[in-house]
């Protein structure tokens, strides 16, 4: 079967992954309202295409944190890629390198940061970080990724506690015994004595006391730009700017944390309006087509990041599957741009979005 759109990869993954693995990737919190609204919100947004604009030549390139990427779509941090494909994050990293875009490596990767860099030495990578009760854990991994040439830290701020994902509880989800959270291999010994385990590491490892002062602590450890992932309000966007971070990812964790929060595309405008270009604003959640990318960029996102679709690509054909997912999105984005009368990313702006019914 020809893979024509991202939904084809989703259907393949659902059919071929085990139920517990599929449920883990697909999970939203509680009733999954926010997870589902991430997708539905795009369908409510209409475009105002311009015509007769000579779109015979188009250019999808953009920059993030000063580095050029081939189009404004990167790969969001998602955990446990080896559950979808035996090479896991190494395959994901190679795919991102091949299409010249940004890959955000998850703390919870099933390949180590060293293995990922070795697999795709020329790739452009950021590292997604959690803050742990044992600060030395977070500190050591910051120093590791900086030394390895990662280009930014993505501090995830919406998980003081893990959201309630009902299917994972019903399935009693555990990382398969042959896999590990590789970045902590030998650092955290997950033993029976350590008590209950949550997503591959001992429960209660995350630090719920994390606050804005920890941004300063992180800045004291590293020269890397800091991007905060998990902001959904203008108030927190303003605080992020005041604390000197270099970017914001508007994110609700794929609907896996607080159910009932806004779809990310609905939260984007107030954050862009507040930031006023002082730092870059990105978005994840719900991107499934090239026109979704176009809508997000028109509303002020510098770049969007895909999570679940990258995993579906892995489940389909490893590195080649992730490349196909990215290529389909790139082709659809280029076509949507042209059909809207935009020749390059700089021409995409809010005039493209219909705010009131015509």
334 is in an annotated binding site: no
Long-range pairs for 235-242: beta carbons < 8 A, 24 or more residues apart: 237/270, 237/271, 237/274, 237/275, 237/281, 238/274, 239/212, 240/279, 241/274, 241/275, 241/278, 241/279
CA distances from 1 to 107, 132, 312, 317, 338 (A): 35, 45, 15, 13, 28
Q: Which residues contact 182 (CB under 8 A, 6 or more apart)?
A: 109, 110, 111, 112, 115
256 is in an annotated binding site: yes
Cα R_g (the chain), whole angstroms: 19
287 is in an annotated binding site: yes
67 is in an annotated binding site: no
Contact between 107 and 141 (Cβ < 8 Å): yes
Nearest to residue 129, comparing CAs of 146, 149, 147?
146
Record the tokens describing residue 125, joined without a space.
Answer: 């990578």
295 is in an annotated binding site: no
Contact between 256 and 24 (Cβ < 8 Å): no
229 is in an annotated binding site: yes
In the block, residue with structure tokens 């939203």: 28
284 is in an annotated binding site: yes
Indicate if 143 belongs to the active site. Answer: no
SS3 state at 126: strand
Q: What is the rounded distance in angstroms from the CA atom of residue 345 to the CA atom of residue 347?
A: 5
Q: Which of 16, 86, 178, 253 is catalytic?
A: 253
260 is in an annotated binding site: no
Q: Which residues contact 105 (CB under 8 A, 6 or more apart)?
A: 77, 89, 93, 113, 116, 125, 126, 127, 128, 145, 150
Q: What is the rounded distance in angstroms from the CA atom of residue 338 to the CA atom of residue 345?
A: 11
Q: What is the rounded distance in angstroms from the CA atom of residue 200 to the CA atom of residue 206?
A: 12
Q: Which residues contact 50 (CB under 8 A, 6 or more apart)?
A: 340, 341, 342
165 is in an annotated binding site: yes
SS3 state at 132: strand
307 is in an annotated binding site: yes
Residues with catalytic roles? 253
Binding positions: 24, 77-79, 106, 128, 130, 156, 165, 229, 251, 253, 256, 284-288, 307-308
Binding-site residues for FMN sit at 77-79, 106, 128, 130, 156, 229, 251, 284-288, 307-308
Q: Which residues are annotated as a binding site for glyoxylate?
A: 24, 165, 253, 256
């Amino acid at each position: 079967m020809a893979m024509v759109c991202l939904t084809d990869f989703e259907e393949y993954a659902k059919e071929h992954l085990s139920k517990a693995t599929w449920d883990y990737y697909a999970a939203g919190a509680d009733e999954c309202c926010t997870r589902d609204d991430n997708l539905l919100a795009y369908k409510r947004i209409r475009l105002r295409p311009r015509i007769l604009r000579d779109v015979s030549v188009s250019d999808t390139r953009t920059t993030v944190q000063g580095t050029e990427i081939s189009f404004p779509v990167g790969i969001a941090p998602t955990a446990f890629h080896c559950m979808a494909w035996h090479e896991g994050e190494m395959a994901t990293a190679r795919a991102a390198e091949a299409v010249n875009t940004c890959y955000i490596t998850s703390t919870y990767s099933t390949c180590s940061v060293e293995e990922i860099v070795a697999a795709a030495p020329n790739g452009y990578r950021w590292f997604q970080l959690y803050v742990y009760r044992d600060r030395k854990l977070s500190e050591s991994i910051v120093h590791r990724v900086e030394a390895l040439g990662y280009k930014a830290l993505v501090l995830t701020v919406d998980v003081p506690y893990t959201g309630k994902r009902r299917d994972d509880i019903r399935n009693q989800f555990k990382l398969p015994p042959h896999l590990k959270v590789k970045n902590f291999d030998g650092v955290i010994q997950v033993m029976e004595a350590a008590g209950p385990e949550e997503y591959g590491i001992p429960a209660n490892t995350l630090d719920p006391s994390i606050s804005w002062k920890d941004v300063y602590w992180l800045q004291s450890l590293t020269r890397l730009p800091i991007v905060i992932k998990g902001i959904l309000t203008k108030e927190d966007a303003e605080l992020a700017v005041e604390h000197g971070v270099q970017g914001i990812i508007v994110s609700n964790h794929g609907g896996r944390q607080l159910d009932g929060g806004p779809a990310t595309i609905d939260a984007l405008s107030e954050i862009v309006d507040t930031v006023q270009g002082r730092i870059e604003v990105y978005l994840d959640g719900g991107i499934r087509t090239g026109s979704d990318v176009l809508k997000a960029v028109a509303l002020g996102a510098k770049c969007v990041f895909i999570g679940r679709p990258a995993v579906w690509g892995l489940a389909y054909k490893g590195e080649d599957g992730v490349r196909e997912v990215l290529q389909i999105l790139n082709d659809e984005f280029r076509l949507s741009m042209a059909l809207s009368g935009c020749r390059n990313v700089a021409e995409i702006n809010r005039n493209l979005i219909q705010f009131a019914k015509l």
